Structure 1
């Protein structure tokens, strides 16, 4: 029992992405490059939405929230990779472990919720265009964003409480590069039944509900688009929501693939690969998709670049 208590006091050791020495530099450089691209892209979106009055609309308000979530989640999940490479310190305290688990998991739910709110915004824009500004008021946008952020913070609390009550561990090495729920579960010898049931039933049900809330508006959107007589009008309507559809498809497909790999036997290497995809590549892709496929964002970047040239 004393050794178990000592484990709790000293904290845990994160194994990292790979324990092959020859791959350490390559992995570090690759993850660092992806992270920097993600950080620059999402910060660009945030700054454009903040300082360009042309982007002070509900759609870009939610997009700025999505960028903030992506910056926060990728930083929370990936920062230990950089610390391990720079200092060779794999250790993480028990309090830091729980903080990272809570923040990252809450942000994941926040992203599900924001994507649902963005779907509703696109539904109103295409199916109720004459009432768009009256429906998508600042008050409603603020309420939807607040509910989205609050939902993640509340939803993940029970699972974190279950994990915080684990009292014994067969090992103090977490076979991952950040403190995720399942790798922590794998090394405990405490009863995990309540946590497993909560994740399986409550988590799955609520994610399905959020998926339903995200997809349902697009059923009405597609129905409305098909009623447009002109092909140019249909293309414009599809173009309006194409960026968001792409982001939703990438995010949900990556989560589903990771869940399938996890359920099918939890191969550690595959699990880490999909975790890296979700925590590094997806946050990098989101601003790129909105920058490349969104005319307003491209025009905003051009305006800011031209303004910079004029000043000099």
Structure 2
């Protein structure tokens, strides 16, 4: 693995508050790595260390084999940074803003190309102060892409975008990744991480609670099957639930039965076989694997319970 980003025991403190409390992770070249967590988990503080905006309180960080703060001159022109909020002169037009930024960027791509990539060509003569929140985020992204970065840091890149603009941004990020760009992003949209990330880390209280491939993190959580039985049938008539692979079950007030299983195919096969053999129609039948959102919520709740003990 050609490691592009590496942290070892990384820490960052603000006076008496430890925002990042010693984290280790690596990101390979051409990989998209998502850093997730609740508000205050330490994601942005971590990103700022990776971008070379601050010196770690402890531990080490390397980007492209160099310290991004001490070796800033060697690293900065090879990375692109999209902050949570950009601060651009409100009276400049979109094109004037991009041209100004291009003048400070080594090997900048043509301003018109950057605007086309982010679907802002039609807004080139509009003043920044007249842009919508979503359009300003796309302008932030256009500036982050000006230098054709090898490594791209995206902090909440689709906040404020409508559904179509979000999908367009996903497509652009996928294309950049195909071209070999390494991407590290933070996001509160778990579907975004599920759609884009090769691997992810979930942070909580300045520490990494879990890390791994998206599929592996999701696979650790049980799948679900829900259905309603006819009024003359009861849960006890089903085959033994443990034999079906069921690890947990519940019945809702409306009579909906919910099964949780580590083996969705086996449980669904046993359940449907029983229904066919007995002539029972399973109403409102729904079977689905766990989602990243469910995995995230379960991890977060588990950590909160540990803290209250």
Q: Normalization by structure 1: what TM-score?
A: 0.20
Q: Which has the higher contact order (CA 8 A, sep 6+)?
A: 1
Greater helix fraction, Structure 1 or Structure 2: 1
Q: Normalization by structure 2: what TM-score?
A: 0.20
Greater strand fraction, Structure 1 or Structure 2: 2
